């Protein structure tokens, strides 16, 4: 589900929205690097002072603007790994709406939480954490849609993201938290339209969708989920002690 075995042509045809979002953020980063005079970050980032002035479009544009090469590469890698399965499972249009809405919600709720007018948010991290929140929801409440080993992989990546969020510098703590929560909550209505993942055949085509019988989950791995969630919650509160 999360192992990418497609070639470039198959990937583009099978997951056009994931491809589009990656291309947009790459192009934006290159243009910003080559033409700093355009001030893309200043004009499109989720800058609280600008939001207070009514420039709400920044809630969306900020998701495609990155502040460094490492930030861009990490988010692109995460989107390549975790985005395709969701795009296939919920459909192209629903995936695009989910990605944009969750990312905008993460920026908006952070704006109302952090009172600093000169606070700046940029990057796809909130939307990517929303994708992980979606997987965590179906891993616990819609178990016929995801294999247990894939769910455990998501839990581990969420734990890693939580650690980097808590100890990293220049990381939007609330942007990550709200992104994850937005994805988790949006997964409730979205899961009604979700089908199990099927890997694309050559040229991006798929086998016809068939009914997949419920996947029986054993108790194996449950403790991993609760330990990870407990550590994440503890680390969140410990940051403010």
Catalytic residues: 125, 176
Instruction: List Cα–Cα distances, 171 to 28, 127, 165, 204, in angstroms.
Output: 20, 14, 6, 36
Checking 231-239 for CB contacts under 8 A at 24+ apart, the result is 231/159, 231/162, 232/158, 232/159, 232/162, 235/162, 235/163, 235/166, 236/162, 236/166, 236/173, 236/177, 238/166, 239/166, 239/173
Instruction: List Cα–Cα distances, 122 to 66, 72, 111, 140, 154, in angstroms.
Output: 6, 10, 12, 30, 24
Tokens of 105: 């919600």
Residues in the chain: 241
3-state secondary structure of 62: helix
Instruction: List Cα–Cα distances, 75 to 37, 130, 212, in angstroms.
Output: 25, 13, 32
Yes or no: say if 21 and 99 are a contact pair by the CB < 8 Å rule. Answer: yes
DSSP string, 122-149: -SSHHHHHHHHHHHHHHHHH-GGGS-HH
3-state secondary structure of 117: coil
């Amino acid at each position: 589900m999360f192992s990418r075995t497609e070639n470039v042509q198959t990937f583009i045809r099978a997951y056009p929205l994931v491809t589009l979002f990656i291309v947009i953020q790459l192009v934006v980063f290159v243009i910003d690097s080559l033409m700093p005079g355009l001030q893309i970050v200043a004009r499109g980032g989720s800058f609280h002072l600008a939001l207070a002035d009514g420039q709400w479009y920044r809630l969306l544009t900020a998701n495609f603007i990155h502040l460094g090469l490492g930030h861009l590469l990490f988010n692109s890698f995460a989107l390549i790994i975790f985005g395709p399965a969701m795009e296939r499972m919920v459909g192209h249009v629903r995936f695009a709406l989910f990605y944009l809405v969750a990312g905008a919600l993460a920026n908006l709720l952070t704006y109302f939480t952090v009172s600093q007018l000169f606070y700046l948010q940029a990057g796809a991290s909130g939307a990517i954490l929303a994708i992980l929140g979606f997987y965590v929801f179906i891993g616990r409440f819609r178990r016929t849609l995801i294999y247990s080993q894939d769910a455990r992989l998501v839990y581990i990546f969420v734990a890693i993201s939580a650690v980097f969020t808590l100890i990293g510098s220049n990381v939007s703590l609330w942007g990550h938290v709200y992104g994850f929560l937005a994805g988790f909550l949006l997964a409730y209505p979205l899961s009604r339209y979700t089908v199990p993942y099927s890997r694309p055949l050559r040229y991006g085509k798929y086998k016809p969708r068939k009914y997949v019988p419920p996947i029986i989950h054993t108790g194996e791995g449950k403790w991993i989920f609760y330990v990870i969630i407990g550590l994440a919650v503890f680390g969140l509160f410990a940051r403010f002690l």
